[in-house]
Chain A
C-alpha cells in the first residue's frame, strides 16, 4: 500500500476519498440496523424494563411519611430519641395539624399501615387517634368563641388570613357556574401579613381551607375551621409580639389585640396529655422514634425487613425471633432449587448420554418424548402431579394395591417439599436434557475408543475422558434449571402446601394479600439480583446467543 502515499488518498468513483466513503457507508449500515431494532427496543423498554425499574424504585421509596406528616417531619428534626423523653409540645402540635388533615383526606390509615410494618400496633394507634384528633383544641375554640362570637364565623377567618388577590379570584369563581368541572375552585392562598406574626395559625388554616376545598368541595367562606386551628391560634398568640399586633389595621387588630390580651388567662391543656389519654402508646418514645426513623424520602427499611433485620431509631437491629421468616425462606428456596437441580442432573445425564449415542433417527424419535413435556402446558403438568400424588391419588392407589402401603397409612406426598421437588424436577428436566444433549453431541466417540484401546476400563474411559468433556453441558443445564426454579411460583403454590413454598410465593402474598408492596419489591429485587448474577455466569459459560430451543 506504499504507493497510496505517493499519489495522495485513494479516491472512490465519485471523487471522494475512499476512506470517507467507506465510513459513510458503514454509518448508514449501522443506522439501518438500529432503525430495525429500535421499535422492539422501545417496546421492551416501556413494557418490561420500566416495570422492573418501577419495582426497584418502590423497594426504597418511602415518601408517604414525609408527604403525610410534613410538619412533624420538620419538628422531629430537633428531637433526640435517645433522651428517653417524648417529644416537645411543638412536635405534638405539628403532628396534630398533620394528622387532622391526613384524617380528613383518609390518608392516616395508609400511613398507619406503612408504619405498622416497622412497629406492630401503630396502625390501630393511628386509626384510633385519627377519629379523635379533630377535637384537639376544642378547649381553646370554646374560649375564643366565648370571648368574641366572631371567631366561630367562617368569614372572620377568611378576612383575617386570606390573600386579597385570592378573595377576588374566589369571588369571580363563585359568580360563575360552580358545577363546571373545567373551572376548579382557586386554591386558598394566605396573606403574608399574618403569616409572619401568626405562622402556625396561618399554616394550619391554609391546610384546613384547602382540604375543605379539595376533599369536600366546600367553600372556606362557609366552613368553621377545625379545632386544631384554634389550638394553633392560642399557641401563636401566647408567643406573638404584641407590638406587631397593635400595628395591624382594621378587623385584624380589633379581633387579635383583645384575644392576645385574653389568652394569658385561658384555661390550658397539654397536647401530649390529650394524646396519651387516647392511647398510652403516645407516651412511648419508641413510637416517636419509629416515626422519626422513617421520615426520610428513601429508606433501606424494606430491604432490611427482607433479610430479617429492622431499622430502629438506634440503627439496624435483628427482628424479633417470631418474625424472622425471610432468611429461612431464602434458605429453603436455595435448598429446594439445589435439590431440583441435583435430581435433574441425575435423571437428565443418562437420557442425554443415550440420545447422543443413538443413531440420529432413533434419537430424534426419543427427543420427541423429551419435548412433549416441554411443550405441554405448565398447568397440565402441575395438575397431573396433583392427581398422581394425592392421598387418594393414582400412586397411593397403586402402592396399596401392590400391598406396599397399608390403606390406613397412605403416603403424604403432596403439599410438602417432596411434592414440590418431584413436580418441579419433572417440569424442569427438559431444560437440563437439551443443553446436555447439545454438548454431548459434539463429543467425538473416538476419544473414548482411544482411551479403551490404551487399556482404560469402561469406567475409567467414561470418568476420565468422556465426563470432563460433558461438564460444560452440566454447567449450562444446572444454571438454567437453577435460574428457572428459584423464581417458580405456580407449582409451589399448588403442590407446595406450607412447607414447600418459595420466596416467590411470599412476594405474591405481599402484593395481593398483605399489600406491603415495598417489601414485595425488596424481596423481588434480591431475587432479581441472584438471578442476574447466575445469568451473567451463564452468559460467560454458554453465551446468550447460543441458547437454543429444542
Chain B
C-alpha cells in the first residue's frame, strides 16, 4: 500500500500540494535523465553540430546518419583507445576481485584484530579524492619506474576498484549462514571444496556485482590514467576528455551513446544479481 495515495477526504489545498509535489518530482527526474537521453538522438546528427538541426526536428531521414559511429569504428585513435580500455579494465578487475574477495572473507570472520583500521585502509582509495591519488601515484610510480607503463595503470586501477569489491562482498557475507560451511566440513569436505562448492556459489552475486563496480571504475576512470599512463595507455575516457577539451567532435556523442548502452546493461545485471541474492537470503519479499 503506497503512502502517496491521497485520502478521499483531502482538501483542495492538499490536493494542489500533492499534485505540485508530484510535478516537482517529475521535473527532478527529468533533470536526472534528460541530459543522458538527449545525447542519444544528437549522436545520429548528420551535421557536425551539437544541437538539433531543423531537419532533425522535422524527422527528416536525411538529417540523421550513422557517420559519427562510422568515425568511431574507423578512426585509429578511437580504436586504439578502445583496445587500451579493453586491455586494462578486465585485468584490473581480476586483481581487485580475487584479492578483494579473499580479504572480505577474512574480514567477515569473528575475531579479526584491528578490523576497523584494516577496513579504513582498504576503503581509502574510494575516499581519497582522485586527484590526490593520481598525484601520489604519479610521484611514487615515477620513482619505481611504473609511470607510463601498462602495469602501472593496471595496478592503479585495481587499487581504485578494491573498495567496491570489499563493500559488496562484505555485504553479501553478512547474510551468509556460517553453519553451512561447518556442515560441509563436518561431512568431510576439505577447506577448498567447502569454499568452491558451498560458500562461493552463495556469495557469487556479491562477487560479480563487486566485479562489475570494479570494472566500471577502471573503464570510466580518467584522472589517474591521465597521470600514471602515457600516450600508449590512452583509454576511451582519456580520448573523450582530450576530445572535449580540444577539438570537440560529435564522435564523442556516438561514443557516449555506446557507453550509455553498456551502463544500462551493467546496471541491469547488478540489479538482477542484487535481487537474486536478496531472494536467496530471504530478505526481500519481491
Residues of A that sit less than 8 Å from B by CB = 26, 29-30, 32-37, 39-41, 43-45, 47-55, 58, 347, 350-351, 354, 357-362, 364, 366, 368-373, 375-388, 390, 392-394, 397, 426, 429-430, 445, 458, 483, 486-490, 493-494, 504, 507-508, 511-512, 517, 520-521, 524, 527-528, 531-532, 535, 539, 544-545, 547-550
Instruction: Judge if B16 is at the interface, Cβ distance under 8 Å.
Output: no
Q: Which residues of A lie under 8 Å from residue B260 when comparing CB positions?
A: 376-377, 380
A375, A397, A445, A544: the one contacting B52 at CB < 8 Å is A397
Instruction: Judge if B55 is at the interface, Cβ distance under 8 Å.
Output: no
Q: Which residues of B lie under 8 Å from residue A43 when comparing CB positions?
A: 95, 99, 158-159, 162
CB-CB nearest 3 A-B residue pairs: A487-B129, A36-B106, A51-B136
The answer to whether A494 and B245 touch across the interface, beta carbons within 8 angstroms, is yes
What residue in chain A is nearest B275 (Cβ atoms)?
A: A364
7 additional A-B pairs beyond A380-B256, A458-B17, beta carbons within 8 Å, are A47-B137, A357-B3, A360-B286, A375-B216, A375-B266, A392-B50, A531-B132
Instruction: Judge if B180 is at the interface, Cβ distance under 8 Å.
Output: no
The answer to whether A40 and B38 touch across the interface, beta carbons within 8 angstroms, is no
The answer to whether B241 and A379 touch across the interface, beta carbons within 8 angstroms, is yes
The answer to whether B131 and A547 touch across the interface, beta carbons within 8 angstroms, is no
Interface residue total, chain B, C-beta cutoff 8 A = 98
The answer to whether B244 and A383 touch across the interface, beta carbons within 8 angstroms, is yes
The answer to whether B227 and A511 touch across the interface, beta carbons within 8 angstroms, is yes
The answer to whether B103 and A40 touch across the interface, beta carbons within 8 angstroms, is yes
Instruction: Judge if B2 is at the interface, Cβ distance under 8 Å.
Output: yes
How far is A392 from B53 in the complex, measured between Cα atoms in Å?
11
How far is A486 from B263 in the complex, measured between Cα atoms in Å?
26
**Given A364-B286, A387-B42, A397-B51: A33 and B112 within 8 A (CB)?**
yes
The answer to whether A52 and B128 touch across the interface, beta carbons within 8 angstroms, is yes
Interface string of B93-116 (1 = CB under 8 A from A): 001000110110111011111000
The answer to whether B132 and A379 touch across the interface, beta carbons within 8 angstroms, is no
The answer to whether B107 and A33 touch across the interface, beta carbons within 8 angstroms, is yes
What residue in chain B is nearest A459 (Cβ atoms)?
A: B17
The interface-forming segment of B22-30, B60-68, B70-78 is B22-30
Shortest CB-to-CB span from A344 to chain B, Å, is 11
Instruction: Judge if B33 is at the interface, Cβ distance under 8 Å.
Output: yes
Instruction: Judge if B200 is at the interface, Cβ distance under 8 Å.
Output: no
B1, B28, B38, B133: the one contacting A48 at CB < 8 Å is B133
The answer to whether A490 and B124 touch across the interface, beta carbons within 8 angstroms, is no
What residue in chain B is nearest A45 (Cβ atoms)?
A: B121
Instruction: Judge if B176 is at the interface, Cβ distance under 8 Å.
Output: no
How far is A382 from B32 in the complex, measured between Cα atoms in Å?
13
Instruction: Judge if B135 is at the interface, Cβ distance under 8 Å.
Output: yes
Shortest CB-to-CB span from B124 to chain A, Å, is 7
What residue in chain A is nearest B155 (Cβ atoms)?
A: A47
Shortest CB-to-CB span from B68 to chain A, Å, is 13
Instruction: Judge if B164 is at the interface, Cβ distance under 8 Å.
Output: yes
A37, A52, A381, A547: the one contacting B118 at CB < 8 Å is A37
Interface residues in B227-243 by Cβ distance below 8 A to A read: 227, 237, 240-241
